[in-house]
Amino acid sequence: MDFSDMKRYVDDRPQDGVFRVHRDVFSDQALFELEQRHIFERTWCFLGLESQIARTRDFLTNWIGRTPILVTRNDDGAIVGLINVCRHKAVLLRHEEAGNAGVHICPYHGWSFDANGHNVHVKNTRTACYPAAFDAESHDLLRLPRTASYRGFIFGSLSAEVPELGDFLGDMRFFIDLIADQGPQGIELVPGRAVYTYNANWKLQLDNGVDPYHLTSTHASFLDVQAVRRKGEGNVESRSFDWRKRDEFPAGAMNFRNGHSAVWMRQPEPEKRPIAPAMDEIRARVGEQRAEWMLNARNLQIFPNMQIADAISPMLRTFRPLAVDRTEMRAWCLAPIGEPRALRAWRLRQYEDFFNPGGMATPDDTVIYEDAQRGMAASPLDFLQGYSRGLGAAVSGGGEAGAALGLDPATSVEGRYDMFNEVAFHGPYREWARLMEAGLSGRRAWA
């Protein structure tokens, strides 16, 4: 197949009021392979939080596309990004998602590496008759070409050519700050996480994370349960929101450069947010405007592999494409470090209700993804029509909200919440097409 023209896949013509994505983007095996190479292996990917590796010799593992990654904190306290693969025969070095170890011992032949990835032991060297050429080679773990963090969020890149992390995130940093600043000592992942897979393409989750349009239809049963609880029945501890109050409230979306986007909404019930009792402290620390935006609902897409949803209590999810039609998700609850017990319980009740695979919303979404994947196989279908809501009101730049916040997104839209805009999908697919085009034509992806 000829992949040279990405317009065949992302039909992006704002001047004509057109933004469409072709079903092949979700279902074509060859495109999936190209995505691994030209997207996941050529941009920054989220790896974890610094608070997960707070002590020296702590480590966490993750993946960039198909590449296993080991992130450690060395004895100097520095964060080190490594390829989690033994140099001897490519066996995965660490299986655990996190832990603490001064030495990482390969389970196959016992080669060992320290927290810097330096090879500290090759088993049975005395009797090995290794040639001089072998001794001259480094046996250290391969370093991730780039590792950096922003406000405690660690990212890595398999390409050395990426821009500085701060430039890559751009004005998306404002929205990350609104998460990182929720506690005076920063934020952490609540211990425990959910891992689950679904049989559909990773971009079904990419879209869904910034899709306000589906809530009232896909999650109707969740809304019904919440309505019952608000009458004082069932689990009243979960401080259920009245989602229908949101319809007329101001809302919008912003698309930032490099594929990041955000949807936001003014919060009609800020008193139900688990940070509400801490707002005096937060206002004093971050100022009135940022504090108000912390109470607003915000769902973030950090392209390509991380989302933060902060519309109920905040959750962080990462996705790992396993195959064109199979994706692994990991999801955590985010919370301020040192949060009082009662507020942590409030947060967890809201989180588990909606987000966990055993909650009342995530299973709805994953079933829909799998149905969509089946639908993508319908050969007469070409372009999907799910990218146009709000496009008629979209503008270049940041609009009123962007001006008020001093942000400069590439495009944005504002209106009532029940516009249920689909504009926040545009940034990610523009970046998808840009990176694919650059990779396929052999051009550098970054200036």
395 near ligand FES, judged by CB under 6 A: no
Q: Measured from the CB atom, is 91 or 276 closer to ligand FES? A: 91
Q: Measured from the CB atom, is 42 or 94 closer to ligand FES? A: 94
245 near ligand FES, judged by CB under 6 A: no
353 near Fe ion, judged by CB under 5 A: no
Segment interacting with ligand FES, rule: CB under 6 A, options 107-115, 260-268, 269-277, 305-313:
107-115
Q: Measured from the CB atom, is 142 or 405 closer to ligand FES? A: 142
3-state secondary structure the chain: CCCCCHHHCEEEEHHHCEEEEECHHHHCHHHHHHHHHHHHCCCEEEEEEHHHHCCCCEEEEEEECCEEEEEEECCCCCEEEEECECCCCCCECCCCCEEECCEEECCCCCCEEECCCCEEECCCCCCCCCCHHHHHCCCCCCECCEEEEECCEEEEECCCCCCCHHHHHCCHHHHHHHHHCCCCCCEEECCCCEEEEECCCHHHHHHHCCCHHHHHHHCHHHHHHHHHHHCCCCCHHHCCCCHHHHCCCEEEEEECHHHCEEEEECCCCHHHCCCHHHHHHHHHHHCHHHHHHHHCEEEEEECCCEEEEECCCCEEEEEEEEECCEEEEEEEEEEECCCCHHHHHHHHHHHHHHCCCCCCCHHHHHHHHHHHHHHHCCCCCCEECCCCCCHHHCEECCHHHHHHHCCCCCEEEEEEHHHCCCHHHHHHHHHHHHHHHHHHCCCCCCC
113 near ligand FES, judged by CB under 6 A: no
Residue 407 binding target from Fe ion, ligand FES, none, CB below 5 to 8 Å by type: none
Residue 365 binding target from Fe ion, ligand FES, none, CB below 5 to 8 Å by type: Fe ion
- Least distance in Å: CB of 319 to ligand FES? 29
Residue 109 binding target from ligand FES, Fe ion, none, CB below 5 to 8 Å by type: ligand FES
134 near ligand FES, judged by CB under 6 A: no
365 near Fe ion, judged by CB under 5 A: yes
- Least distance in Å: CB of 322 to ligand FES? 23
Segment interacting with ligand FES, rule: CB under 6 A, options 84-92, 148-156, 302-310, 337-345:
84-92
106 near ligand FES, judged by CB under 6 A: yes
Q: Measured from the CB atom, is 134 or 184 closer to ligand FES? A: 134
86 near ligand FES, judged by CB under 6 A: yes
- Least distance in Å: CB of 405 to Fe ion? 26
425 near ligand FES, judged by CB under 6 A: no
Segment interacting with ligand FES, rule: CB under 6 A, options 88-96, 247-255, 307-315, 397-405:
88-96
Q: Measured from the CB atom, is 339 or 365 closer to Fe ion? A: 365
- Residues near ligand FES (CB under 6 A) are 86, 88-89, 91, 106, 108-111
- Residues near Fe ion (CB under 5 A) are 365
